[in-house]
Structure 1
């Protein structure tokens, strides 16, 4: 698999046209950064990010695990969640990951979803699907580390930022292309 600007833009367009969560995701990418920065959001807004992280798999993620993780996140003190999300803009990546992963139900992939919705110009979500595309394209030397560490996320993020710059696209466009390419890669490996 070879990545190029045309592959990325074509796959991102395919994402817009075919992914069922595109419209609601796009709305949240527009409104959540300001809401998180200002602290003007409710519990459900924060919970939405966790739900999106798991539900974007459209049932392919084990339901019991998804429900358990969503419930664990709901058990966090909301003032604590609000404090973490409001502070994200002033934190280094390392500090942000530390603060986010200290919340119940949040590991590095879920933390990366929060980072993406807090600042989509600087961050994008990580998961096995996106990572595997970069690995198969020769952009990341190692297969997906399950679970990824903060250092793994930083490596992934640096790679994605470099690709976004090289292809002259934003990180959201790159994410959407990686998601679509990862679906194709997964379907090829499962024979569907």
Structure 2
């Protein structure tokens, strides 16, 4: 029977992720999974990885969708707005990819998925409604997705220091 580190390395290889530097949340999930069910095959692990990524993408989309509606009064969902794509393609790899507009994610990390969903919804809002969202209240310019201390944030690229963090993408997250 292998130990957790050996199993984790084998599962990351099964998901075509060897050598990647993974966020703590992904490694914690793997540790919890190993503790709950023990060793599982690479095929089963990839199914769980994909299911988790897709589930997290749907939850992240809801967070972003709510922000768009609260801040712009515009809807980011509806029958005409089917632009999230869940792809399982063996040529891409053994785990699925979530695509939203021109961005994609395939790692079950909440902050990475939240940032990806934010970029995709932002692209949709700009192309569909022809408005810039979100906007820095101080500089009146569009914001960009970034990461600050492992948290997905909206960044402004203006100001004396060459930019600043405006806020966390998830309104429930505190930065300081």
Which TM bucket (shorter chain)? 0.3 to 0.5
Scaled by the length of structure 2, the TM-score of the pair is 0.33
**Is the helix fraction higher in 1 or 2?**
1
Greater percentage in strand? 2
Give the structure-1-normalised TM-score.
0.31
RCO higher in structure (CA 8 A, sep ≥6):
1
